[in-house]
Amino acid sequence: MYKWLEKEINEIRAIKFHVVETLAEELDITKTIQSDICSLLPPSYIAFISKFGGAKLYKKNNYYQVGVLNPPQAKILKSGEQVLCIGHFDDLEAYFKYSLLIPGEESPVYEWTDEGFEKIADSFSEWLTIRCEDARNAYTEKEWKEILNGSLPFTSEEEEIVRARNKFKWRVVEFDENRNLKIVVKNNSNIILPYLTLGMRTTDPTESRRIWESGLYLNVSNIKPGQEGVVEHHIHQNLFTPINTELFQVSDPLPEERDKYWEFQKLRTAEVSKI
């Protein structure tokens, strides 16, 4: 079971496009899942967890389109119904219903939508197949070819940008009710960058919605090496407010993520100034 996914993982050269706990040997699921719950879980879910553990699949921008949890998360809905959250597709969480779990048998998978629970598949393996196919269809033919082949490594100029962005320090000094930001940025590097990419996420998720994440791109082109400046930025998305929003330092970019980090924007037009 899941030979197709194992084959795909082995064929893809893009770094961290699929992230699984292990492919080397079968996992001991009793170490992650309580025995009373484990006995209820459907065979196709157990087979996946035993082979891969938890998984994050089909990276697109800064998130993974498909996720599988290990262990599953028990929840009680406001209606009193008990469910097990087993993963997600895009921003929709996927569940087993406790009331339908029968030892040794498959169980349907539901996703939580604006209308409530929607049955997606009759089993975990069917749900995973459907959602992985949906995720693959989100890439263009050109994008999928690049994913299979992997991106070219960073040039020396790009590596310098990766090093430089880590030397930028920042702190939020104002975030008003109109979603206007003021951030103090200090350039401790030896080059001028056109932009500085930060992460932005909501910090008040509900039972039926996972944390939302996005990118924030600050124009730091006027901040020279050794200097500090205030950058003003307006957040257009209504989802992010001063009450529920947190800014954070994002990890270093991978070669596959050149287009997602705006530090490289002017490099492609030879406009990054080196001091």
CA distance 196 to 265: 10
CA distance 167 to 180: 25
pLDDT band for position 204 (cuts 50, 70, 90): low
The structural architecture, per CATH, of the domain 3-149 is: 3-Layer(aba) Sandwich (3.40)
Give the H/E segment covering residue 171.
Answer: strand 168-175
Look at residue 273 and tell me whether its pLDDT is greater than 50: no
Structural domain spans, the chain: 3-149, 156-269
Of the candidate CATH numbers 2.60.120, 3.40.50, 2.60.40, 3.90.25, the domain formed by 156-269 belongs to: 2.60.40
* Burial bucket for residue 112 (CB in 10 Å: 0-12, 13-18, 19+): buried
CA distance 172 to 159: 27
pLDDT tens digits along 35-65: 667 788 999 999 999 999 999 999 987 789 9
Amino acid at 46: I
Q: Tell me the two tokens of residue 253.
A: 């970019």
CA distance 29 to 220: 48
Q: Which residue in the block uniquely carries the two structure tokens 């070219």?
A: 152
pLDDT tens digits along 103-137: 999 999 999 887 778 999 999 999 999 999 999 99
Look at residue 222 and tell me whether its pLDDT is greater than 50: yes
β-bridge mates for residue 169, sequence order: 186
pLDDT of residue 27: 65
What are φ and ψ of residue 10, in 5° steps?
-70, -25
Whether the full predicted model's pTM is greater than 0.95, yes or no, is no
- Contact at 8 Å (CB) between 197 and 258? no
CA distance 211 to 200: 10
pLDDT band for position 68 (cuts 50, 70, 90): very high
Non-local (6+) Cβ contacts of 77 within 8 A are 83, 207
- Contact at 8 Å (CB) between 67 and 57? yes
